[in-house]
Amino acid sequence: MTIQTDYGTVEFREEDLLIFRDGIFGFPKLTRYLLLRMNEDDDSILLMLSTEESKVVFVLINPFFLDPDYSPVLAPEELACLETEDSGELSYYAICVVQNDYLENTVNLKCPLVINPKTRHGIQVILKDSPYGYRHKLRSFDAIANPINDQDGSDNHADTST
Amino acid sequence: MLILRRKKNESLLIGENIRITIIDCASDGVRLAIDAPKQISILREELSEAEQTNKTALSPDLRSVLQLQSFFHHPAKDGKDGKEY
């Protein structure tokens, strides 16, 4: 099967799909997604494409890449939903809000996507009693802080005086 | 903001057709029963915020995504650069 996206044509097999039976928050009807690596050899940043609605794309970040101490705790019913008792065997991804101004990029560590790699089923959770928020500035993490040192000057408000 | 005290099984009314009843109180939470017309949306606040955040994250501009990707330098695992082409 193939889908056309803004990122090109993507070929996939049925068994490549991730299934979110309840969708993700705000998108309850979209249940089938493909996960694509953006960098060939690591899982730090990925794209998640809906195969049902080709315009629907999310950028995901491996939260452990940002914060090695990230420690999501799932509720028993969430673990049951993923058909496991061991949260250690699950994969976690955080959805990133990518802005035109990269300084404004944020990541949602409070609502990770959690996937059971064995069943390829996933859910999105809201972590309770966690120190994590909906909008952490990406630049606040050491892993990707100060990526470019002022390529073209740090201040780009030059033409916004009207 | 109005702050008031209610006990178990007591209710309060909002407007003419919304009634909220305290079903149970415990130290870790309160159970509420809400009677309201169907067309009124009732959401846990955190769920609404989660939905909103996902909607903001939807389908970002490709160029911005590529720019972000460039910040994710391969976490150079030293001594492991056997690239296969």
* CB contact A102 to B (< 8 Å): yes
Q: Hey, what amino acid is at B41? A: S
Of A6, A45, A99, the CB nearest to B62: A6
Contact B77, A43 (CB under 8 A): no
pLDDT at A160: 40
**Confidence bin at B67 (pLDDT 50/70/90):** confident
Query: What does each C-alpha distance from A46 to A42, B29, B47, B66 come to in angstroms?
Result: 9, 37, 24, 11
Task: State both tokens at A125.
Answer: 């959770």
Phi, psi of B63 (to 5 degrees): -65, -40
Average pLDDT in the A32-51 region?
A: 90
Q: What is the pLDDT of residue A157?
A: 42
Select from B50, B68, B70 the Cβ nearest to the Cβ of A98: B68
pLDDT digits (tens, 9 = 90+) for A59-107: 999 999 999 999 999 999 999 999 998 888 999 999 999 999 988 999 9
Nearest-CB residue to B58 (from A47, A56, A148): A56
Q: How many residues does chain B have?
A: 85
B34 touches A: beta carbon within 8 Å: no
**A148 has a pLDDT exceeding 80:** no
Percent of chain A with pLDDT over 70: 89
Could you report the predicted ipTM of this complex, rounded to two decimals?
A: 0.85
B62 pLDDT tier (thresholds 50, 70, 90): confident
A119-134 pLDDT per residue, tens? 999 999 999 889 999 9
Q: Does A105 touch chain B (CB under 8 A)?
A: yes
Could you tell me the two tokens for A21?
Answer: 């039976």
Mean pLDDT rounded to a whole number for chain A: 87
Of B52, B58, B75, Cβ closest to residue A42: B75
B14-43 confidence digits (pLDDT tens): 999 999 999 999 988 999 999 999 999 898
pLDDT value for B77: 46
Q: Among all residues of chain B, which has the CA nearest to that of A40?
A: B74
Distance from CA of B42 to the nearest CA of A (A): 14
Secondary structure in 3-state letters for chain A: CEEEECCEEEECCHHHCEECCCCECCECCCCEEEEEECCCCCCCEEEEEECCCCCCEEEEECHHHHCCCCCCCCCHHHHHHCCCCCHHHCEEEEEEECCCCHHHCEEEEEEEEEEECCCCEEEECCCCCCCCCCCEEHHHCHHHCCCCCCCCCCCCCCCCCC
Interface of B with A in 58-77 (CB under 8 A): 58-62, 64-65, 67-72, 74-75
Contact B54 A38 (CB under 8 A): no
What whole-number percentage of chain B has pLDDT above 70? Answer: 85
Q: Do the chains contact at A126 and B47, CB–CB below 8 Å?
A: yes
Alpha-carbon gap, residue B83 to A144, rounded angstroms: 23
Q: Closest residue of A to B65, CA-based?
A: A98
Could you give the percent of chain B with pLDDT greater than 90?
60
Q: Of residues A53 and B78, which shows the higher confidence score?
A: A53
Alpha carbon of residue B66 to chain centroid: 28
Please say if the pLDDT value at position A145 is more than 70. Answer: no
